[in-house]
Every structure is written in C-alpha cells, then in structure tokens.
Structure 1
C-alpha cells in the first residue's frame, strides 16, 4: 500500500488510447494545463478518457512516494470519462475532460468521506456535494480524493491513513490541511485540485508547494455554514500551477463564468505589510525579502505600492476559540475514543469554548471595522503567506496537542484573520528560499467581492515573475 492508502494496482489505468501515440503530453509531461486539456478535449483533438488515462499513469508512478491521495478512482474515472465523450455539449464545457482531485471532505457519489479520520464512516455517499456536481456538470472527471489531517485541524498532513510528503522535498510536509491536494498538483499528477480553507488550509499548502491557491470570500460558493464549514470560516477553492487554471476552476465552483477571465487591474493601491500577527511569532528574513521583491515588481509595473499596517487583533483568543469550536462541532457525531489524542484535546477545548460562549460576533466585528479603515486606502494588501518554510513530514498526529498548536502558530499565523472576516485571500508563488530551496508564497487579500482583482493581480505577478510549473523532481520547468 502507498502512504495514501492506494495500491499501485488500484491506480493503474486501462491501456493507453491510440490518441496517445500522437500526443506530445502522452509521456506524462505535467506542462499540460487544465485550460489546455479542456480546449483539446472540447475540440475533439483528445478523447476525454485519454486525458484521464495520462493522469492516472502519473498518479500510479508518483503517489507511492508522496501519499497525496487517500483514494484513487481509477476505474470509475475512466468509465466516467468515456461517458463524457457522448455529451452533445462537450465543446462548450469549461472543464471538458479535465482530471480534478477533490479533498476528502466533500461527498462524491459512491465514495466515503473520511476527513482523515478512522472515526468517520466508511459508508459510500448517495449523492455529490453541490460543488462536486458543478465540477461534473462542467465536464471535470474526479480522479481521486486527497489526503488530509484528522478533521483538517492542523497545517501538516498526516493521519491514520499515512504521511503526505512535499514534492519539493519529501522530508517536508506539503502543508495542510489541503496538503494532499497541494502535493498532487505540485507533483504534476493533476493540473488542478479542490481544497478547503478554514484557517489557511488552501494558502498554506499552496505556499509550501509552489502553487497558486485562492480562498474566495464568504457566500461566493454554495455551503451550509454549519460545523463542517467551521461556522462560516471555511471556504472551498482551487489550487493550481497557473492562475488561469485556478480562475477557470473557481468560475465553475462559483457559477460565474466571468471569473475565468478577470479584467487586468491597472494602477491598484497595494499595501505591503511584513508585520507579524503576534508578538510571539517571527518572520524568517528570506520570506520578508520575497515580499519586498514582489512589491518592487508591482511598483515597476505601475501600481501604487506603500507600507501598510494590518490591524491584527492584540488578543488572539478569539481566533483560537474559533479554531477549536469548528472541529468540535464536527466531532459531535463521532466516537471520540477513535480520534488521535491531539484531536481529542482540540475538540474538548472547543466544547468548553462553546459552553462558555467564547466565540463572540463582536470580535469579528471589531476586526472588520479596523480592516475597512485599512482598505479605505488600499485595494489589495500583500503579506507573507507563512512565517517560515514547510516543517518536517512526520507523525505530528502522534504528538501532544500543545506542541502541535505552538508549531502551527509559529509557522502559519498570517492566513487566519481573513477566515474570521470571510474575505478573499490567495497565495502566490514568490521564489524559493536561498538556503533550503523550498517555495515561498506571498499572500494577496482584499475586501468582499475582490476575487477578480486578486486573480488579475496574481496573473500579472505570474507573467512578470514566472514560477516552476511543478516541483523540480517531477519535470516541468519554468513557464515563459
């Protein structure tokens, strides 16, 4: 068995399509983007099952050392791709034949949703989640479910199903909680993947894996706002190697075709802030330097760039209370004796938080008031995504809660405030660390409704500062 819980036989696709013999991407070149796949499949140049078969071969060859997938849907994906070829509207489908990985938190018909936990039910789902249904309606093929830490609590990805490793350095974590999705895209196994972000869980692995990932603002996508969404803090979003691919996927998830092609944003007022969210945290100098380099690029491109001070709350307890309350709500239906010790502690704290009424609307309202004052002067604010590069890939789930919590705060404190607000934020690749060679991300955040502006600015950064399409060990190279 692979670290992700899928044997090589499970992931092996059928024999290659005859189309493969004439297709430059047939050898497994991860340079084929979602936009390119959809164009080729929609025009009839490439059958949908050929695109999916190539993806499954890459998963079969690479995931045994990364553990990105908890479950690979090899037979099901090929069958669904062949059925897709019969659709009369194939040429009009925005994701025609595009292989997509879905984080193991959304219902996929016939699959179980495990949330990285042996305490969850292995019973198959009877229907697709609304977002999965939108992906399928757009022509996407769900090739697998990606690994997450238990209940998606911590920013490293390991669980009873195994340890997920970073394609840039397999001794490091790909981040979390959407770490499996990040590893799958960064290793060129799939062009795009779904993630969820309740306290940075799209942006953290995007930064750790050299990807672009965006958390949309609250209410852009369908959701129930219950415990599984961490009471309004968590949103689904795309992770991709290009901004265009992420924009395309987000447009499908949001049901808004205009997001796929955001208008270029000229002369933006950009606030740059390297201040840390807490006095107990320290930003690594190389990550601060990367932010400065991006700021210089944007200034030369004609944007108005100035220093900003993000009004992080002085008391972090309101944020920490929300972090514990969400998973505690999810755990109410589970046998907590089956949870990892750190998860039991975390959810017990969340129960106490709810009993004592520590999650107060006034906390978020004060932050929003301060943020709106900041954004009176700026259109977008740029910060580091993380305080340091990715920690070790290890069995963090076997360690006590306090070391996990302290490590999380010292590593990934920047993203959470945007979840409390429910405002959009993204992580954009910003180079590599000169010492350890790991990717660095810069976070772009904006007020409600600024998803298109963030996408346009990220695309401009991508054009001015191209980044590697995949991790160095998995081919690719810099896109020019």
Structure 2
C-alpha cells in the first residue's frame, strides 16, 4: 500500500488529480501521523480532524479536481491567521476565544487551490520571539526534540519537518519563517513586499509577510505561486510545478555576493554556519555562477532601528489585550515599543533609508548568499517564563542575519545545506531583488540538486 504521509505536496496533488488516491485517504493518513507524533514535537495547538475529513470529501467531489494545483494536500496554518470556525489565539491567553468568521485571504487561496487545513500550529505569544513556547505548548525541533523548533512559525516548521504535513503557512516579521526553517532543515520563503497578502493589521509596520514552509524547492514554489495568486498549471514537469510567471532566463548565470558579516554589530556568525555558507558558495561557483565576497552596507544603527520596530509592532498587537494575561517578556517588549514610539524612533522613512544604502549593492549583485543563522537554536524550554533580556539575548545571538530583509522589503529564503557538528541541519540564506522570488527558488532548486538533503527527520 502506498503511504502518502511523508510525500511531497507536488506528489500528493498529482496523485489526487489522477485519482490514484482520494483526498480523504491522504488527509486520514496525515491525521493518524499527527496523532502519533504531535506530542513529541509540539506542532499543533488545534487539530481539525473531523472538519478536515469533511473538507477532504468536499475537495474530492469538486468538478474542477483535475485542475487544482494543491488537490487534497494537507496544510497547517500558523495560529495568528484566521481560519474560519477556529479561534485565533496568537500564542496567548489574552486573545479572544471566539471562532473566526472568515478565512484570511492566504488561507482562502490555499483552500481554493484544493488544500485541506488540518490544524493550527503553535506560536510564541503574539509571534514575538524566535523560540516557539508559551501557555499553549512548546514546539520542538524534530531532529532533536531537546532543541527549539525556532520561531515564530516554529509549530509549522515542526509539523513539516516531522512529516505531519507536506507544507505549512507561516509568516515572517524578523525571520519568523526563515529561522525555524533553518533549525528544522526546511525551505522557508519570505516574499518581498506586496507579493502575497500580508498578515492582519499593520503587519509590524509592513515588515511581516506570509509565506511557505516546505521540504523541497518545488513545493515551496508551488505554494508561493498559489499564495501570490499566480496562474499555476496543474501538471508538473520533472517534479517542478509550472508557474507562468517564471522568467524565461531562470537558469542564467548569476552574480552572487557572499558574506558572513553580521548586520548587528557585536553578534558574529559562528564557524560552523560560516563554513557551510562558504561550501554552498563553492558549489554555486562550480555550477557556473560568478561568486564574489562582498558585504552589504548595513548601517551601524541597524540594531537600534530594528529593535524599535520589533517592539513597536508588539505594542500595537498588545493594544486592547488584558496585560495581566500577557507573559512578562511580552509586557516588557510592548512597553519598550510604546517608549520607542514616544521618542520618535518609529520613523516611516527607515525602509527608504535602508534601501538607499542597499540598492547600489543589489544593482551590482543579483543575489546575496549568507549563513541563515549565527549559531544553533537554544534548548526547547519555557522561555516565556523567563525575563525579557534573556529572551532578546538568545534571539539576537542566534539569528542576526534575517531582519534586514524584513525592513528592506526584499525577498529572502532560508534552505537546508549540510549538517552542523551536532548533526542538526545546517542552513544558508539567499536574498534577492524585489520580485525575484522565483529566481531565489531556482537557485534553491539548483543547490538541492547539487547537495540533496533528507526531507524529514528520523521518525518523521
């Protein structure tokens, strides 16, 4: 008997369209896997077992089944995006328990494409921190459950890396897709500004974007195209979904800048992550790309600017919530954000100022290659019970490489590459020009062919 749990989204959708398997059979297998393994990795806050099976039957009965790019594909949704009929808790005891009346637009697009929402994944409170833990649970790295899955889309990353679902929907305001993807051996794509409908509200002053978590470049491309509203052919060619928007010159030789310089002064990249990024650069150079060591001109004030916007976004999200029900670290984070606003530190021209520095660099180089993280993830523990300074320190030391691309609005992608000395997955980051998501996915697919990875963790 063919086992569908653990297969890619492209494989599942192709089989469903060909009627080799029904959506109900696919979803039921994944629900059984979730029931067996979710306690180990802490991926889901809510599992929609009965609702997902009913929705799978509805997908199977659709007249357009043969045209659905995500036909019957189980998907997990981050618990800060509304899913019709489910509460959106955003990792907090302070948020409303009432069910959402409507789907977020990204969820609606996934469902329209034939995907089935099997559950909502754990996040840290208000999606603030890079470790996914809180009053609803702790998300663990399936490769080593003693380590965090990262955050804030950590529950989604744990679900995909454990093979509980082939793809997950998350979002990224400071690295919240790329950080857990890097920890858990996945591809996490933060689209550029305006490419995918953003999270609700001000989306951290425009820094937060919705995007995919996946185990292959093909799955990441397929999901991104659906989220972006691009026409996607149902057929696959050599396992790659055909998106009409992919540029004709996708395989041209690129000029790639390589840098291990941290954007945040005093927070260096450790040797294992730097070494893996160099190895990835050598592979790309061997494949014909032009590689040069070149460092983006990060401003010295970048750390202060991004801290102000990070805390300021939390202050906005905490408005109207009972502070007595918020954790200590969240209350302090929001208080600092309110102070930053009073001091005029949340200037609207920060993005333009950063891009004025970065634009000449990206005029010279097509893509920037960096380490995805600076060091391995911290232990999976109740960080939400610890103080604000301890949380900010552990987050900053681990992941200084991701925030510039949220502030600048450029697309950025984290992907697996090699292994750390601990045996955990290594990872690199690719950053491109506005509108270059498919170019980054092409490059990720090339690295995937040159240096394949194990798609899911042992037991996943």
Q: TM-score, normalised by structure 1?
A: 0.91
C-alpha distance in structure 2 between counterparts of 1:41 and 1:224, whole Å: 30
Aligned to 1:334: 321
**Map of 1:244 onto structure 2:** 218
**Which of 164, 172, 178 in structure 1 is aligned with 2:153?**
178
The 2-side partners of 1:163 and 1:125 are apart by: 24
- The structure 2 residue matched to 1:192, chosen from 143, 167, 192, is 167
The equivalent position to 1:289 in structure 2, one of 256, 275, 278, is 275
State the SS of the aligned residue for 1:170. Answer: strand
- Deviation for aligned residue 1:451: 0.6
Structure 2 matches for 1:80-479, cutoff 5 A? 80-223=55-198, 226-227=201-202, 229-257=203-231, 261=243, 262=246, 264-315=250-301, 316-434=303-421, 436-474=422-460
Is the alpha carbon distance of 1:334 and 1:75 closer, same or farther for their aligned partners in structure 2, counting shifts above 3 Å? same
TM-superposed deviation, 1:420:
0.3
Q: Among residues 78, 98, 110, which one is paired with 2:53 in the alignment?
A: 78
Task: State whether residues 225 and 232 of structure 1, in contact with CA within 8 Å, keep that contact through their aligned partners in structure 2.
Answer: no
Deviation, 1:265, is 2.5
User: What does residue 235 of structure 2 align with?
Assistant: none
Following TM superposition, by how much is the alpha carbon of 1:364 offset from its aligned partner in structure 2, in angstroms? 2.2
Contact 1:311/1:367, CA 8 A, preserved across alignment: no
- Any unmatched runs of 5+ in structure 2? 233-240
| CA separation of 1:260 and 1:359: change in aligned 2, threshold 3 A | farther
Of 312-321 and 69-78, deviating more is: 312-321
Deviation readout 1:438-467 (Å, 9 max, x if unpaired): 111100001111111101111111011101
Distance 1:58 1:416 in 2: 34
Gaps of 5+ in 1: 1-22, 475-480
- How many matched pairs? 447
Once residues 177 and 297 of structure 2 are traced to their aligned partners in structure 1, the CA distance between those partners, rounded to angstroms, is: 22
**CA distance in 2 between partners of 1:38 and 1:257 (Å):** 16
Residues in 1 aligned to 2:178 and 2:256: alpha-carbon distance in whole angstroms: 19
Alpha-carbon distance, 1:225 to partner: 6.8
Please report the TM-score for the alignment, with normalisation by the length of structure 2: 0.95
Change beyond 3 A, Cα 1:225–1:366: farther
C-alpha distance in 2, partners of 1:472/1:133? 33
State the secondary structure of the residue aligned to 2:76. Answer: strand
Question: Quick one: distance in 2 between partners of 1:361 and 1:328?
Answer: 16
**CA offsets, 1:301-337, max 9 Å, x none?**
0001111111222012111100001111011021111
Check whether the contact 2:81–2:199 (CA below 8 A) recurs between aligned residues: no
| Contact 1:102 1:144 survives alignment (8 Å) | yes
Secondary structure (helix, strand or coil) at the match of 1:472 reads coil
Q: Write the distance in 1 (CA, Å) between the matches of 2:307 and 2:190.
A: 20
> Could you say which structure has the higher strand fraction?
2
Q: State whether residues 192 and 239 of structure 1, in contact with CA within 8 Å, keep that contact through their aligned partners in structure 2.
A: yes
Distance 1:257 1:377 in 2: 31
Deviation per CA, 1:239-292, whole angstroms, max 9, x where unpaired? 000010011011111001368544533210100001112232121101111001
Q: Secondary structure at the match of 2:414?
A: strand
Separation in 1, partners of 2:428, 2:50 = 39
